[in-house]
Chains A and B, each alone.
Chain A
């Protein structure tokens, strides 16, 4: 069942234009001119129940605008949105009971209250009876391992602990869909990893659909089975992570250490990325050359060490951002 349906979604922003200098300032006071920026240009996609999807794109691509329209924060200029069958622009409050949101750059917890008081507060605003709220807080405390920080004011928590509490607070009302906008921003790798594990656990335990935006490729790689890429307000890719890797991983990186000097510069499909003495880092275009072809170029007696790896996902995504792949 599709929990998010987006059809031909559009959003324009009007940006005031001002010519440079004092003359420009005076002119804009008399007659202001505006430029319309098409932030989202007719986007279509669907998200199924229980999916963890990554919605990614470079800065200014329109991903946050889209997430804000999906959660009822912004009014679209065109198209149709249904989240759990609810139109976010018309029934924002009704939708609020069904979804959870975490914006990594905006805290929603009350800083001077403890996580426990915050969770009670969230329980109250979502009209959860006291007894039920206590039960859920207990459950979430276990799941998110918050026992030690439950009674420490949020302002005294570390960023990682705070984000854990932010996600926990957004789950008190057991939302069916959770929107996470860059939840791991500014966190160290260890904490990032624990947040990822939590998201996975939550998806498994509660079957929550997760709609995630992140600039961190590891978040996407470790959490999501499907990736939607948006750039300049248009979808440039909507595919499974497996397909993304399969179709775009047509390059391999070979690092070799040889006993003797060799020359790889004149072969079609082989690009020398780095060379230091007899150490080479080669990029192999698998459409033109196979790994076996490359190995044939090396005398086995000369080979001291070798490492074959995939192109990092980060590079693939950067390439898609740059060149675009039309869906």
Chain B
């Protein structure tokens, strides 16, 4: 475990060196939140109105959280890195080191993610405070649970991207698959809570990663209850275990057919 913590730390140090790169991301984040704020202000007639169980304030906090998660995921770069590792043969050079490749990429992704988490949570909270004036009420323990759920969400998203990227062992380019996945998360996950979809669709969405990646942590932040927290966290842990097992199986099968040329 110590080695993965070291990888995590090393990537975090690297992300800190490029901290100024985050500023352009803040601008994009601000624009999105500003657009969604105006959209929901327009949709809600008065602040006390409930739409699908959400007040206007809850709805805006919901998108602030899902957009923070979306920024932390940064899946395109992550997917490209793994696809390049597989296609360029770099993955082979990780094989003769005493660590698991999946553990390696996951901890380096989380290391980079932590810096972004601190930055975007701060920016998100400031924007929320400016636009809405209040925070959802939380105790220290409930905030810890929300944070745990957010961490599990980032891990599940990373494992899904690792799985998609490892398909590069079999197909020429896994990017189109990632594109489909990311758009599904963006459109169905970050914009609206699951309750906004038709009842028939809600059951299906509850089974997809959207539920554990976006809905879970954001729902817990805007409307915390211990029952839903237990339900969401258990579901997330199951997702982590299954996704990790699938990644491992795909990786083990893939490296056997790896061809590394040159030299």
A contact set with B: CB distance below 8 Å: 13, 63-65, 67-68, 71-75, 92-93, 95-97, 99, 101, 103, 105-106, 108, 110, 112-113, 117, 120-121, 124-127, 181-182, 213
Contact = CB atoms under 8 A, between A and B. Distances in A.
Contacts of A120: 6
Contacts, number: 72
A94 B217 CA distance: 40
Contact of B3 (A71, A95, A103, A127): A127
B258 A74 contact: yes
A127 B2 contact: yes
Given A110-B10, A125-B6, A95 B96 contact: yes
Interface stretch (B87-95, B201-209, B230-238): B87-95
Given A13-B259, A106-B93, A125 B14 contact: no
Nearest to B88: A106
Max count, chain A CB within 10 A of own CB: residue among B92, B96, B256? B96
A99 B10 contact: no
A72 B7 contact: no
B198 interface: no
B99 interface: yes
Contact of B99 (A64, A68, A101, A125): A125
A91 B97 CA distance: 12
Contacts of B259: 13, 74
Contacts of B95: 72-73, 92
Interface in B234-263: 256, 258-263
B228 to A, nearest CB: 39
Q: Chain B interface residue count: which class? A: 20 to 34
Contacts of A105: 262-263
Given A63-B263, A74-B258, A117 B10 contact: yes
B98 A125 contact: yes
A97 B96 CA distance: 9
A73 B10 contact: no
A68 B260 contact: yes
Given A74-B258, A124-B6, A213-B263, 18 more contacts: A13-B259, A13-B261, A64-B262, A67-B263, A73-B93, A73-B260, A92-B96, A93-B98, A96-B96, A97-B98, A106-B93, A110-B10, A113-B14, A121-B10, A125-B6, A125-B99, A127-B3, A182-B263
A125 B263 contact: no
B52 interface: no
B17 interface: yes
B122 interface: no
A75 B17 CA distance: 39
B13 interface: yes
